[in-house]
Structure 1
């Protein structure tokens, strides 16, 4: 009150206790956490900006020094040196020592220089090959598939299954590719689809998260249809890997060619999975969310495949979609007429049930895409397919792809957990480093 006087609107906005229109009182737990904490940290630039400008705007204006921004990081000891020994050996040779394991910034200069050397690019492919072979073998065994082609583009999305992470959009895109292959005359398929693609999803749903379980079931249904169809086997395979955990990640991440991080802009606080992938030379296809934006800043946007709008545009897109959804429906179902024609075809195929089955079970997923589309699966679908096409084209240009892979690793120093911990120590904990941790 001493600072705000009689500005009751501001006082109400800052209050720990909220009164609803019916006279009920609620404790704002997030406000309570801010008030009770010495510092409040955002774990990526975009997360920190949303926290300051939206979620806690009034609190930030009152106490701006309380809010910090320290981007997350991952340990290179586990997520490269341990789980990708072939690549570790080549990197250590290029750097001249293994000191990079404790100082990831040492990678940049020697690997940037080596990326321009055709012989080193060939050795990079060879060094990553054992990890890819291991990942493909793991996927084939997990999905009950025959041996997978080592020349295939291994495209993975490995993370907790959640609506905002948009595994649904990935599954619908795989279904679109499947339908497109089937509708293309056999004589034209090789020219249009340019070799095999192995699409892998891995993750878990929370026990009570019904929507996430439906997404997993749809992924399994699409995979079953794709893998049972002899017409598409030379161009597309799909697998859902169950029981995802760190041990599975240590197999899939080092071996992937492309990794998807496609959360709705403004919903992913940071995302350490994208850091693990870039560190291993896996190219990233991602939305403009979380750490993806900082990754683009560090490694160069030309070395990954971004799509869609930024967080500030999401609210307007959602409002526009709600206004559109208020129009007439087709019978009892939300209409798909407004969707991108490619997505409309997939939605109607899922609703019809002949290819993927379980039409009634999947109906809530399709209805959500056609109606509110809260996570912009429909809104971003065209841009997402364009990003997939750009990734396909880049994969066919082997020199470009391998160079981008090397630069992804070379420029990942910022995402080391060592940098994160040092930044916490100096900016939040106010502790000094010890000269020698072995001294007593």
Structure 2
């Protein structure tokens, strides 16, 4: 079979033309910083699980709910809040979100019992609900479309870096100052960035001056933008496959500090730092996997899907072997390598969603992806693993967990079967010829 080539039109309008590259990187840095704050506030809880469990006499199911309630609210609210952000203004919306989750995190520090903590975590979820989708839409808009998988991977790795810092710093602060100070430190960091963001990032400067009214009008008439977020088989399958894969990654991130505390006898700070290092491996992995996706998929868009499938299956094999081993250095290394590959699907699936949906509704499209990632992965995973752990133990629950990646790979294979045709239908400009060296403009 010959090479598969698409013209630039297959990725839609390049919304970055006319935006200074230096300013684009500045926007990325601040938006990335707030995403780190987002996940620091979310994941600091995992580092203090053993302390809260002991102080309030909680079950693993209750601990899982404290973590899962945030992801659940993100999943439920990300779509409607992202639609509002597209209308209300993305910069203003991102600022308000950051203020809300930071104040709610401060509420976690002041919680007097489990019920108070649950309410505060609920509000953290409300504040964080649409940040990922709106933030990545801002980033994608100010950079060239050829960098989508790399930037999406790097941006989403901010969540993993935030998890790393939240668990590592949270564990250290909790061990030396008490778990309440761990939440307080995360809240202060978020409030500082929330103050700086609207001062530096301006709504009018993140819209390309080259997007003329006539281009937008034609684009809207041809594509009916909002419909593109769910109108193709491949984009729906991408949402589902991405969410299922994050069931695995999200569960490991949430429960690994507790696993190290129970099966390795590590103290709270040591378990937090060790888990954070392994999570950092997945952050590096998702960036490198995204870069590989952009490089190999430049002239072959289908390779994005193939790589995503490979990441699912590779992570499944490595994590299955890791949790079949007994506690020790070899197991920790394999968990790190498995997570390096398992989270690599973030870049390819984000790029697929961007390519399969209209640029004017990218916030809503990424919100739909976030919805699937949270409902099927980040919320469902910790809850299910917590309940299974109550029955058969955390080690045995971790042994079953990687099998979900096989289902994710199967769903993404279905997406691959329809990917080219759905891209053609969206753009209405390119005819893909599987046995030809060239694409033909209609």
TM-score, length basis structure 1: 0.28
Structure with the bigger percentage of strand: 1
User: Which structure has the higher relative contact order (CA within 8 Å, separation 6+)?
Assistant: 2
Structure with the bigger percentage of helix: 2
TM-score, length basis structure 2: 0.28
- Greater Rg over alpha carbons, structure: 1
